[in-house]
Chain A
Amino acid sequence: MAALVTAERLSFAYGGGQRTRRRPLGPLALDRIDVAIEAGSSVGIVGGSGSGKSTLVRVLCGLLPAADGEVRFAGRDLGGWLAEDPAGFRRANQLVFQSPASAFDPRMRIGRSLREPVKAIERRTATDAELADWLAGVGLGPEVLARYPHQLSGGQLQRIAIARALSLHPRVLYADEPTSSLDVSVQAQVLNLLMARRDADTSLVLVSHDLAVVAHVCEQLIVMEDGRVVEAGSAERILADPASEAARRLIAAADAVSLA
């Protein structure tokens, strides 16, 4: 299977801009990364804080420009595509963040927030039936449409954020620590939802510091440390027989607080 998203020797430095001959990059947040995400796969990116996992996701979904190296989406250069057709790019790449409370405009009712992406990208107004359908897909009823964000729980808001991201039928759904601010029983709802909505048309890239979460959801793993990919491949293989010290440490830390 051809990879949908690929990065080759991708580097990034905060505040660094593009690499030029005269001006080298500052400290690298991403250091010559090679990754490949296949269509319809579920990929977990794990690592400690500062390992570069969130930065990688932000570059892959076009929120930060690559400073060096190549990122391609279905063979197409990411930077070029984003410059020529930002709407098309955004439609294909959606992101869900850690804090659902800051992902919604507090002054907008949920219905309006939920309509925004389709309005901005597809230039049309989503019908009430569509809204109800999207909400049903994340286990919520249409009564939340009239609510404001502060009237909903963190778990409900995160599910709505996922519904909003999926409303554009993205090819890749990126989720950056989507359950870190949620309670365990609510985390289970959100993870179930992410697992259920991943299919042949929508790949899932899940970033988490919690290996137990990623191990439950993802078939593929990318293990990061100090801005580098230290190990990547089948989750089953890496969990059973980790090759890197970083993966071994993460597994030991997760098993130390396991309930099984």
Chain B
Amino acid sequence: MMLEIRDLTVRIGTHEIVSISHFDLPRGRSLGLVGESGSGKTLTAMSLAGLQPHDAELTGSIRFDGDEVVGMGQRGLADLRRHKVGLVFQDPLRALNPTMRIGRQVGEAVRLADRGPREAVNGRVRELLRQVQLPDTREMLRRYPHQLSGGQRQRVLIAIAIAARPVLLIADEPTTALDTTVQREILELLTRLRAEEDMALMFVSHDLGVVRAVSDHLAVMYGGRLVEAGPTEEVIEYPRHHYTAALIAANPGRVGLGEGSRRRGTPLHTIPGTVPALGAFPTGCRFRGRCAAEIDRCASVPPVAGDGEHRYACWNPVQHDEEGVGDGSAGHG
């Protein structure tokens, strides 16, 4: 197993922000990590690369290719980030150095991964630009970040992230700041690169639709916990946790008028209440108080249930009848 998480907690001050008891990510898998603001998805993803905030305290275990990341020294973490994990962030303008030309920034990533003669580095830089579908011309290499469009900057960031041929690419909301048409191109690019490079992809997003477009597996977080995980299509079609079901129901339907389009002007499903403040989550199931299917047992922490790869933590899961249509108890509110 490439990545194994066991009893991981991330605390900041007195608040336990993330608590994940068991999660595995095999080599080569594309995983969508989904959750709304405050769900702990970004903190979880950053902790995997040792990039949690300085005041965050990790307990438990994150094993990356057998190496323990929790408690790993700076040298080990730098090595991990240099060779095994690539990172792409939401705002490429902040992730790129505004005073450095593109060619030099990509070249720096190439040299960090593998010191070689100058010609070899330059050749690899051009190869990376071609891989992310940017022109590998001298003119492009000499541009500064501000001379690129948002989509082009994100492509440069992806080129830097895959320069060392990482086994895991973590992309945190990489398309949220982009136009929908550019977003589509970047999603296609990530899908193609993941297959070409045979790397695992962890795509962090608040948007289930975006995640669906790039990932074959899905993990849904709420209140710092994993509430449901499994094959993407199965989870979206047959969600078992009521939070997942509500999240799906809150999305506007398909744009075209084909099957699956919702009626224009009809109310969308909402989730009652708001996400509690840090430290104010209920005990037991964290979705308690906002869930339409709450029962007495929800006051204690639900065990992970489910068969095969589709797992969920719910005492009273969404039932699906034989035709595979939800029973309608989910997401009404």
A binds B: yes
**Interface presence of B268 (CB below 8 A):** yes
Interface size range of chain B in the complex? 35 or more
CB pair A255 B36 closer than 8 Å = no
Contact indicator A155/B274 (Cβ below 8 Å): yes
Query: C-beta contact mask, A19-43 vs B, less than 8 Å → 1, else 0?
Result: 0000000000000000000000010
- Is B252's CB under 8 angstroms from A240's CB? no
Q: Are A260 and B184 in contact (CB under 8 A)?
A: no
Interface assignment of A64: CB less than 8 Å from any CB of chain B: no
Closest-CB distance, A222 to chain B (whole angstroms): 16
B208 within 8 A of A: yes
When distances are taken between beta carbons in the complex, the residues of chain A under 8 Å from B209 are 212, 257-259
Is A126 engaged at the interface, CB distance under 8 Å to the other chain? no
Q: Contact: A259 with B183, CB < 8 Å? A: no
**Chain A residues, CB < 8 A from B182:** 48
Whether, in the assembled complex, A132 has its beta carbon less than 8 Å from a beta carbon of chain B, the answer is: no
Instruction: State A210–B271 Cα separation when bound (angstroms).
Output: 21
**Residues of chain A lying within 8 A (CB to CB) of residue B262:** 216, 260
Interface residues of B in 218-270 (CB under 8 A from A): 236, 246-248, 250-257, 259-262, 264-265, 267-270
Q: What's the least CB distance linking A240 to chain B, in Å?
A: 5
Q: Is A215 an interface residue (CB 8 A)?
A: yes
The reply to whether A258 and B254 form a contact with Cβ atoms under 8 Å apart is yes
Q: Convert A215-254 into 0s and 1s, putting 1 for each residue whose CB lies closer than 8 angstroms to a CB of B.
A: 1111100000000000000011001100000000111111
Q: Which residues of B contact A195 (CB under 8 A)?
A: 265, 267
Q: Is the CB of B269 within 8 A of A188?
A: yes
The yes or no answer to B14 lying at the interface (CB within 8 A) is no
Complex: A189 Cα to B270 Cα, angstroms: 6
Contact present for A260 and B36 (CB under 8 Å): no
Q: Quick check: is A192 within 8 A (CB to CB) of the other chain?
A: yes
Q: Per-position contact with B for A184-199: 1 when CB-CB < 8 Å, else 0? A: 1111110110011000
Contact A153 B261 (CB under 8 A): no
B83, CB-defined interface residue at 8 Å: no
What number of residue pairs across chains A and B have CB atoms under 8 A from each other?
128
Which A residues lie within 8 Å of B248 (CB)? 259
Least Cβ distance of B216 to chain A in Å?
16
**How far is A121 from B66 in the complex, measured between Cα atoms in Å?**
67
> Would you call B181 and A250 a contact (CB within 8 A)?
yes
Closest to A42 in B: B265
Q: Is the CB of B181 within 8 A of A259?
A: no
- B265 to A257, Cβ gap below 8 A? no
- A209, A251, A255 — which one has the most chain B CB atoms within 10 A of its CB? A255
- Whether A156 is near chain B, meaning CB under 8 Å from some CB there, is yes
A-side interface mostly:
helix
Q: Verify B246–A185 contact, CB threshold 8 A.
A: yes
Answer whether residue A211 sits at the interface, using C-beta atoms and an 8 A cutoff: yes
In the complex, what residues of A have CB within 8 A of residue B210's CB? 257
- A256 vs B254: C-alpha distance when bound (angstroms): 9
Choose from B250, B255, B274 the contact partner of A215 (Cβ within 8 Å). B255
Within 8 Å of chain B (Cβ to Cβ): is A183?
A: yes
Flag whether A213 is at the interface (Cβ < 8 A). yes
Complex alpha-carbon distance, A218 and B212, angstroms: 26
With an 8 A cutoff between CB atoms, is A49 at the interface?
Answer: yes
CB contact list, B80-128 vs A, under 8 A: none
Instruction: Please name all residues of chain B whose beta carbon is closer than 8 Å to the beta carbon of A196 when the two chains form the complex.
Output: 267
CA separation between A255 and B210, bound complex, in Å?
Answer: 10
Q: Given A184-B250, A215-B264, A254-B180, A240 and B256 touching (CB < 8 A)?
A: yes
- Determine if A185 and B271 form an interchain contact, defined as CB atoms under 8 angstroms apart: yes
Smallest CB separation, A121 vs chain B (Å): 30
A156 / chain B contacts, CB cutoff of 8 Å: 274
The chain B residue with its CB closest to the CB of A139 is B270
Are A192's CB and B268's CB within 8 A? yes
Q: Which residues of A contact B256 (CB under 8 A)?
A: 239-240, 251, 255
Contact among B213, B247, B261 for A184, CB-based, below 8 A: B247
Which of the residues B187, B247, B275 comes within 8 Å of A153, measured between beta carbons? B275
Is there an interface contact between A184 and B255, defined as CB atoms closer than 8 Å?
no
Contact of B253 among A183, A189, A258 (CB under 8 A): A258
CA distance A163 to B270 in the complex (A): 19
Contact (Cβ within 8 A) B208 A210: no
Whole-angstrom distance between the Cβ of A172 and the nearest chain B Cβ? 18
Other-chain residue from B213, B253, B269 in contact with A216 (beta carbon distance below 8 A): B253
**Contact: A184 with B212, CB < 8 Å?**
no
Q: How far is the CA of A175 from the CA of B144 in the complex (A)?
A: 35
The answer to whether A254 and B208 have CB atoms under 8 Å apart is: no
Min Cβ gap A144→B in Å is 12
Residues of A within 8 A of B57 (CB): none
B65 contacts partner chain A, Cβ-Cβ < 8 Å: no
7 A-B Cβ contacts within 8 A? A49-B179, A185-B246, A188-B268, A217-B265, A236-B257, A252-B184, A255-B256
The 10 A-B pairs of least Cβ separation, nearest first, read A260-B260, A188-B268, A260-B254, A257-B209, A216-B252, A183-B36, A253-B180, A188-B250, A254-B255, A253-B184
A239-B257, A240-B256 are known; give 8 further A-B pairs, CB within 8 A: A184-B36, A184-B207, A185-B250, A209-B179, A212-B254, A249-B181, A255-B254, A257-B207
Chain A residues at the B interface, C-beta cutoff of 8 Å? 42, 48-49, 153-156, 183-189, 191-192, 195-196, 209-213, 215-219, 235-236, 239-240, 249-260
